[in-house]
Amino acid sequence: MTAIAHRYEFVYLFDITNGNPNGDPDAGNLPRLDPETNRGLVTDVCLKRKIRNFVSLDKEDAPGYAIYMQEKAVLNHQHQKAWEALGIPPDAKEQYKKLPKDEAKSRELTAWMCSNFFDVRTFGAVMTTGVNAGQVRGPVQMAFATSIDPVVPLEISITRMAVTTEKEAEAQSGDNRTMGRKHIIPYGLYRAHGFISAKLAERTGFSDQDLTLFWQALTSMFEHDRSAARAEMAARKLFVFEHESAMGNAPAHVLFDAVKIQRADADTLSAPRRFSDYRVELNRAAVPGGVTVHEML
């Protein structure tokens, strides 16, 4: 498949109601916050995980769409698949720790990983852990998502009626309830920025078909990621800026500045609780020539 020929940037808006979009393990799984502004944060790793999960569901067992970074995957086993598929013998002394001295064979190993694993050719990967399959700088990169307004995490007490062992049941003298905690935010609208390089796509083989699948993942991935902590999480807006050239026709920050988000009624609204409490506007006049805007949501 032919790599994409144009550079892209995108602005992605999503929200959550009464849930935890991205818990912080260093803070008891509280929703992530910027401590200076109290604005919510969602990491790029969190968003990429949801994209990977969507692709694994949509393209289950399809050739070329395996997922490299998945739960409990042994990465060295993934790397060794490339060596074995290409029939490249490892160095007798170093085994698989170093790439072959033949540069063409080294490139073949990395190219095999790109062609077989969607997330390698999309996001890149460092594949040098024990079994060496090279390094890939991915064409698609995403920044942390930040909430438009400050969010207030709530700690909700919950109870459990059942117990796990007979001993635990006896210790509670007939009262089987145990207490727990659940962390949520009442509402948050988040904004994330992304970047797609056509020149880096040439190196990994990231194609127009891959790009279409990536947009589908952004618009639909929350529909397949429901849980008690994320029952009402939704993609709201996706603005895609397509450049006429591979190198680009305008700086990314100029394009991002064209998307404005404001409170719909700042004078009377005390705390936003739904997407309709915001007004999202695209200033098309501020978009430089050579760049086309696509509204995919």
User: In this predicted structure, what is the pLDDT of residue 1?
Assistant: 75
- Check pLDDT > 90 for residue 28: no
Report the alpha-carbon distance of residue 44 to residue 54 in Å, rounded: 16
Buried b (16+ CB within 10 A) or exposed e, 25-64: eeeeebbbbeeeeebbbbbbebbbbbbbbbbbeeeeeeeb
Q: In this structure, what token pair is assigned to residue 236?
A: 């709201």
* pLDDT of 173: 57
Taking the C-alpha atoms of residue 170 and residue 167, their distance in angstroms, rounded to an integer, is 5
Give the tokens for residue 61.
């067992």
For 113-128, write each residue's pLDDT tens digit.
999 999 999 999 999 9
d(CA 22, CA 47): 9
Q: What is the pLDDT of residues 36-62, one digit of tens each?
A: 999 999 999 999 999 999 999 999 989
Q: Is the pLDDT of residue 174 over 60?
A: no
Token look-up 């289950």 returns 60
> Distance (Å, rounded) from C-alpha 75 to C-alpha 278?
43
pTM greater than 0.75 (yes/no): yes
More confident residue, 164 or 284: 284
Output the average pLDDT for the chain: 92
Domain-by-domain residue ranges, the chain? Answer: 8-151+183-295
pLDDT at 181: 81
The 8-class DSSP code of residue 148 comes to E
Q: Over 70: is that where the pLDDT of 161 sits?
A: yes
The reported pLDDT for the residue numbered 269 is: 67
Rg of the chain, C-alpha, whole Å: 23
The per-residue pLDDT for range 202-246, each reduced to its tens digit, is 999 999 999 999 999 999 999 999 998 898 999 999 999 999 999
